[in-house]
Amino acid sequence: MKPKENPILILIIFFIILAFVIFLLYPKDCKIDKSCFDKRFEKCKTAKFTEIKENNFYEYRIFGKEKRECVFEVRLLRLEPGADVTVKALLENKAMKCRIPINTFKNLEQIDNMVNFCHGELKESIYTLLVKRMYGAIVRNLGQIVEETKKIVK
């Protein structure tokens, strides 16, 4: 039997291959199960996980291995209720993609300064917010800084 003579066989093979590819590429949805996510994170297998941390909603998504790095994304879905409107506009629904060396960390909590391994809109927004807050602190204390400087100069 030639493949041209049996289109049903070709369709069946196509759908089997398609299902296999989708199964491999589609991340396991750990929902809010931290241990499920940690097991997959340790091996850098595709997964996604939603977490509430300090009343903020985050989504983590592991894309898998690239070269000798584990690639994942952190997205801040929603800030806590009552958060400042400008901060919400700056941070909500922003993501950053991260790359860490394989077999370096067993879970996200072990990564100090995760931002150093990441790039993207969320990282840029975090730095923008930090600069704005530092600028505000300097402006609020400018009078005191000038007075202290006058004392030193005299």
Neighbour order of strands in the sheet with 28-29: 28-29, 47-53, 56-66, 69-78, 94-101, 118-119
**Among candidates 72, 73, 71, 92, which has minimal Cα distance to 81?**
92
Instruction: Give phi and psi for 81, each to the nearest 5.
Output: -60, 140
- pLDDT of 50 reads 96
- pLDDT of 68 reads 92
Contact (Cβ atoms closer than 8 angstroms) between residue 122 and residue 95: yes
Q: Give Dmax (Cα) for the chain.
A: 101
Confidence of residue 4 (pLDDT cuts 50, 70, 90): low
pLDDT tens, residue by residue, 43-95: 999 999 999 999 999 999 999 999 999 999 999 999 999 999 999 999 999 99
- pLDDT of 5 reads 65
Strands 28-29 and 94-101, bridge-based pairing: unpaired
pLDDT tens, residue by residue, 134-148: 888 887 877 787 787
- pLDDT of 23 reads 61
**Among candidates 94, 78, 79, 39, which has minimal Cα distance to 62?**
39
Here the tokens at position 71 are 């690639």
What is the reported pTM? Answer: 0.75
- pLDDT of 133 reads 87
pLDDT tens, residue by residue, 5-48: 677 887 788 777 776 666 666 677 899 999 999 999 999 999 99
DSSP H or E segment with residue 70 = strand 69-78
How many other C-beta atoms are found inside a 10 Å radius of the C-beta of residue 74? 21
pLDDT > 90: percent of the chain? 55
**Among candidates 27, 49, 23, which has minimal Cα distance to 38?**
49
How many other C-beta atoms are found inside a 10 Å radius of the C-beta of residue 91? 20
